[in-house]
Amino acid sequence: MSTLHIYNTYSRNMEEFRPLHPSRVGMYVCGPTVYGPPHLGHVRGPVVFDVLRRYLEFSGFAVRHVRNITDVGHLVGDADEGEDKLAKQARLEQIEPMEIAQAYTLSYNEMIRQMNVLPPGIEPRASGHIIEQIEMIQAVMDAGLAYEVNGSVYFDVFAYAKNYDYGKLSGRVLDDLIAGAGNESRELEGQDEKQNPNDFALWKRANPEHIMQWSSPWGKGFPGWHIECSAMARKYLGDVFDIHGGGMDLLFPHHESEIAQSTACTGHNPARYWIHHNMITINGQKMAKSLNNGITVDQLFAGNHPLLEQAYSPMTLRFFILQAHYRSTLDFSNEALSAAEKGLQRLWNAVKVARNLVASESGEYDVQALAKECRVSMDDDLNAPQVIARLFEAARVANLVNDGKMKLTATQITELNALFETWLVQILGIAPEESSDHRALDGVMQMLLDMRVQAKQDKNYALSDSIRDRLTALGFTIKDGKDGSSWSL
Amino acid sequence: MSTLHIYNTYSRNMEEFRPLHPSRVGMYVCGPTVYGPPHLGHVRGPVVFDVLRRYLEFSGFAVRHVRNITDVGHLVGDADEGEDKLAKQARLEQIEPMEIAQAYTLSYNEMIRQMNVLPPGIEPRASGHIIEQIEMIQAVMDAGLAYEVNGSVYFDVFAYAKNYDYGKLSGRVLDDLIAGAGNESRELEGQDEKQNPNDFALWKRANPEHIMQWSSPWGKGFPGWHIECSAMARKYLGDVFDIHGGGMDLLFPHHESEIAQSTACTGHNPARYWIHHNMITINGQKMAKSLNNGITVDQLFAGNHPLLEQAYSPMTLRFFILQAHYRSTLDFSNEALSAAEKGLQRLWNAVKVARNLVASESGEYDVQALAKECRVSMDDDLNAPQVIARLFEAARVANLVNDGKMKLTATQITELNALFETWLVQILGIAPEESSDHRALDGVMQMLLDMRVQAKQDKNYALSDSIRDRLTALGFTIKDGKDGSSWSL
């Protein structure tokens, strides 16, 4: 049974988490639009919802985690070439949107892998669910809540608002919205077709330069952005499911529109818990082209962006993200990232120390209570920063015992090791870095080369020759130069 | 310009490769059905066509490589539960085919990554292209070459054969085929609906227990197997494209049907070059459940199948595959795999040796001619085994020069290094093994622990203590037990 309490954006309340099915949880999280390399704005959501998933699985639930890939967009061919030329171009010479989508899906999933985020159980592509989207649009029309104009279909927000609470999730008031029209970038073209500027597109007629288009009852076109999530969540999780997640920037219009679409078809808000993580800033500012602070994840890992003083590893990034509560803003800075790196290193050192502690007859610390407190923190709206604070407390204990300043029984030492394994590795998902072998090898080889120099100075040529010969046999090449020796494998 | 000559299964001739476009190549290769873990039968095709792609790219072509994921199948819900129960089950409690497809797509792509196969530019899923398949089926019907029965649509082989050469690719003769009916496992149900037993399904009506189904002009159903490749190849590569590849087991009925479907719609064989790799055997026998010789790729990498004497690495597997010509049968055995492992190790050793050769004033070997011969081999129907033989010749040269038994100029040494880089790494795609750091670390640590034991025996406690202290400082844990010392990081 779950003891989790979580903040539901829809009700604006902390709520006890009670899933629809006793042992299963359905969770839909909005995924990336795959038309660019993953940047710092893409990484927080996957980590936050990965920890939620890991915690639910730790709590005994089978989680069906669905995260979509948005590969349908407003990509158009080169307009200057004109429609005739485009039509004449051979298929192989045209831009192929799916080639772009595939490349960025791969780089997104590589980022996911590096970040130790568990892959979702289902990763549906918008382009792969056109039929489902058409069927859902038809259902909205059948309910009298959408209308067709010139081959495009729009959701009728006013008609919907007569019976349902449009704006409840995002806290927007329809009357206020009427002033500010055209919230959705994809729809810049269709404003004059709408009965009301707040109506949003369910289906857009494709002009000839649109290179992604499909047949529909309304002619050739492509789906609006919001309908994909409604259709795919419904297909894989049912009319009503447990959790719908995403970033706060998606509250309006995306998630508000999703609720409207699903409600139009089924009469229900599709998700029982709407969970949103807050946004990121960089040195206190929003990410913006004009500020030149759009750091990609690869740039962070390589340290090659003007705003970065060094490279930060994937696990440093993950740890850094989890040090802030998911509903707080997360500010990237060299100082904060570097502090996270040092903090994580302190934890790993304590993990190693804890493995080799010597047991005493009696113990002086209640490790079990500390583990229970981790659970209490997590149950309190996924308070990962508080879990991390408790891990540092566990590290303090490990170091005290190692220094002979505190005693633990053998059972308590086992519990301490289990606490790190469960909370640091299993639930927060912080894995030992992949390159640790390489770093360790580098350290050991330097040590051996130093020993060889020392042996030569001591005229212990048997030892210095033996080091060289054995390294050569292992496949190493040792080069002696003016500034000392170097090695390669 | 290409100088490649390749065997075209369609013409049964070696042909000069002349692509449709001067600098672009479109290549479609049949991908996996993702309902099981990848086994040895899945690994040869990706490697063979990866080498073809790498060679075309090396030759200056931009290759659009499409490899599909077959995630539409005949998966049905548990029939024992009956249709009512299935309908009543909550969505979350049902088997979700997409969850299975996702899991096996991930394991397939992980195998692809381990094998150093470049990811295809487009990886279309059959389930994501239902509209395109429906449209193509409609076009076949419009051409009078398909008919509907009870919500299923069948291709009319007899009508097609009146105007076109059905059986040309596979060498089957229609009259002979009439006797042996029901070649396609997916169609066992529909035999009585067919006008002719050789007709094949384009669309199948879904019974209620079919949990993958979509709306179509013929009612709820799902596409036949063959139509997905025709529809997706056409969408991404055009009506006619350069290369269609796959295993010889796909010649009939799959590729024969593809040609029939495309020809019915466009009047053309869709591919100019049909390229097929031969099949694998295990200890001289076909892979079969009854023989219990279905070795998965993960089992090969871990060495945990009764038929395996040891683990073999991904690059050993890749090298082994390329040591046979793609049109020959490839027989797996411990002897052959182990020989490949040793051979590859010899090559890597030579690569290292070549990096440190000392140049002479004059040279005694024409390295450039050897590199040209590699190209001649590749141009001769992708003769990778012959390229490997030439790489061994290059290794022989490197070792002779290293032993002072042959002279090379500085330019020739550079050429020799480039030859390995181009042909071993870039074109054959043999990368240094990922785990080499770990193996090296293991070797070095064992050496250090041995040195520490020796130092203790020599009563050189300063040295033995120093080894322990420095390793501890590097983050290693050394445990001394009865049977010697062990280490962990």
pTM of the prediction? Answer: 0.86
Cβ contact, residue pair A447, B215, below 8 Å: no
Distance of alpha carbon B264 from alpha carbon B228, whole angstroms: 15
Q: How far off is chain A from B52, nearest CA to CA, in Å?
A: 18
DSSP lists the bridge partners of residue A6 as: A15
pLDDT at B320: 98
Residues B153-168, mean pLDDT to the nearest whole number: 96
**Backbone dihedral region for residue B134 (phi beyond 0: left; psi -120 to 50: alpha; all else: beta):** alpha
Do B141 and B223 lie in one domain? The reply is yes
Sort out which chain A residues have CB atoms less than 8 A from B20's CB and list them: 90, 92
Distance of alpha carbon B187 from alpha carbon B196, whole angstroms: 13
Nearest to B474 among A355, A443, A474 (CB): A443
Backbone angles phi, psi at B159, to 5 degrees: -60, -40
CATH number, position B309: 1.10.730
Confidence of residue B425 (pLDDT cuts 50, 70, 90): very high
Burial of A309 (0-12, 13-18, 19+ CB in 10 A): exposed
Do A236 and A288 lie in one domain? The reply is no
DSSP for B428-485, please give it.
S--PPPTTHHHHHHHHHHHHHHHHHHHHHHTT-HHHHHHHHHHHHHTT-EEEEETTEE
Residue of B nearest to A25 (CA): B92
pLDDT at B78: 46
* Last residue within a domain, chosen from B226, B245, B277: B277
CB B13 within 8 Å of CB B7: yes
Tens-digit pLDDT profile for residues B263-285: 999 999 999 999 999 999 999 99
Residue keyed to tokens 């639009």: A33
Nearest to B237 among A91, A120, A444 (CB): A91
Do B259 and B310 lie in one domain? The reply is no
DSSP for A312-369, please give it.
--HHHHHHHHHTS-TTS-EEE-HHHHHHHHHHHHHHHHHHHHHHTPPP-SS-SS-HHH
Nearest Cα to A323, choosing from A386, A368, A277?
A386
Do B309 and B238 lie in one domain? The reply is no
pLDDT at B192: 85
Residue keyed to tokens 């170097």: A486
Nearest to B121 among A102, A123, A129 (CB): A102
Do B97 and B234 lie in one domain? The reply is yes
Cβ neighbours of A13 (radius 10 Å): 10
Choose from A349, A437, A465 for mutation: most chain B CBs within 10 A. Answer: A437
Q: Over chain B, what is the mean pLDDT?
A: 90
Distance of alpha carbon A447 from alpha carbon A458, whole angstroms: 16
CATH number, position A153: 3.40.50.620
Core vs surface per residue B62-99: b (16+ CB within 10 A) or e: ebbbbbbbbbbbebbbeeeeeeeebeeeebbeeebbbe
Q: What is the CA radius of gyration of chain A?
A: 28
Do B94 and B200 lie in one domain? The reply is yes
Sort out which chain B residues have CB atoms less than 8 A from A99's CB and list them: 64, 121-122
Beta strand pairing status for A62-67 and A146-149? unpaired
Nearest to B444 among A352, A441, A463 (CB): A441
* Last residue within a domain, chosen from B250, B277, B304: B277
Tens-digit pLDDT profile for residues A369-383: 999 999 999 999 999
Report residue A390 as tokens: 């408790």
- CA A125 to chain centroid: 17
Return the ∠ at Cα B8 (arms to B4 and B13), rounded to 5°: 90
Per-window interface: A 102-141 vs B, CB < 8 A: 102-103, 106, 119-125, 127-131, 135
Nearest to B447 among A91, A120, A470 (CB): A470
Task: Please tell me whether the peptide bond between A253 and the residue prior to it is cis, using omega within 30 degrees of 0.
Answer: yes
Burial of B481 (0-12, 13-18, 19+ CB in 10 A): exposed
Core vs surface per residue B148-174: b (16+ CB within 10 A) or e: beebbbbbbbebbbeebebbebbebee
Confidence of residue B178 (pLDDT cuts 50, 70, 90): low
Q: Which residue has the higher pLDDT, B213 or A438?
A: B213
Beta strand pairing status for A477-481 and A330-332? unpaired
DSSP lists the bridge partners of residue A24 as: A62
Structural domain boundaries enclosing B204: 5-277
Do B409 and B328 lie in one domain? The reply is yes
Do A410 and A469 lie in one domain? The reply is no
Sort out which chain A residues have CB atoms less than 8 A from B352's CB and list them: 475, 477
Per-window interface: B 212-271 vs A, CB < 8 A: 214-215, 236-238, 241
Residue type, A153: V
End-to-end CA distance of chain B: 53
Low-confidence ranges of chain A (pLDDT < 50): 78-84, 86, 182-187
Distance of alpha carbon B180 from alpha carbon B458, whole angstroms: 80
CB A337 within 8 Å of CB A80: no
Distance of alpha carbon A375 from alpha carbon A373, whole angstroms: 5
B64 touches A: beta carbon within 8 Å: yes
Cβ contact, residue pair A92, B64, below 8 Å: yes
Task: Please tell me whether the peptide bond between B253 and the residue prior to it is cis, using omega within 30 degrees of 0.
Answer: yes
Do B39 and B183 lie in one domain? The reply is yes
SS (H, E, C) A114-175: HCCCCCCCECCEHHHHHHHHHHHHHHHHHCCCEEEECCEEEECHHHHHHHCCCCCCCCCCHH
Sort out which chain B residues have CB atoms less than 8 A from A91's CB and list them: 26, 236-238
The DSSP output letter for A419 is: H
pLDDT at B209: 74
pLDDT at B354: 95
The DSSP output letter for B183 is: -
CB A412 within 8 Å of CB A360: no
Cβ contact, residue pair A102, B120, below 8 Å: yes
Three-class SS state of B38: coil
Beta strand pairing status for A13-16 and B146-149? unpaired
Nearest to A475 among B98, B238, B440 (CB): B440
Residue of A nearest to B220 (CA): A131
Cβ contact, residue pair A214, B440, below 8 Å: no
Do A267 and A347 lie in one domain? The reply is no
Cβ contact, residue pair A215, B475, below 8 Å: no
Choose from B67, B444, B445 for mutation: most chain A CBs within 10 A. Answer: B444
Q: Is B11 a residue whose pLDDT tops 60?
A: yes
CB A130 within 8 Å of CB A214: yes
Q: Is B156 a residue whose pLDDT tops 50?
A: yes
A55 touches B: beta carbon within 8 Å: no
Do B399 and B385 lie in one domain? The reply is yes
Sort out which chain B residues have CB atoms less than 8 A from A103's CB and list them: 121
CB B65 within 8 Å of CB B53: yes
* Last residue within a domain, chosen from B277, B308, B328: B277
pLDDT at B450: 84
pLDDT at A186: 46
CB A199 within 8 Å of CB A178: no
Residue type, B431: A
Distance of alpha carbon B174 from alpha carbon A282, whole angstroms: 69
Return all residues near B419 (Cβ < 8 A) that are at least 6 apart.
B367, B370, B371, B374, B391, B394
Do B58 and B142 lie in one domain? The reply is yes
How many separate domains does chain A show? 3
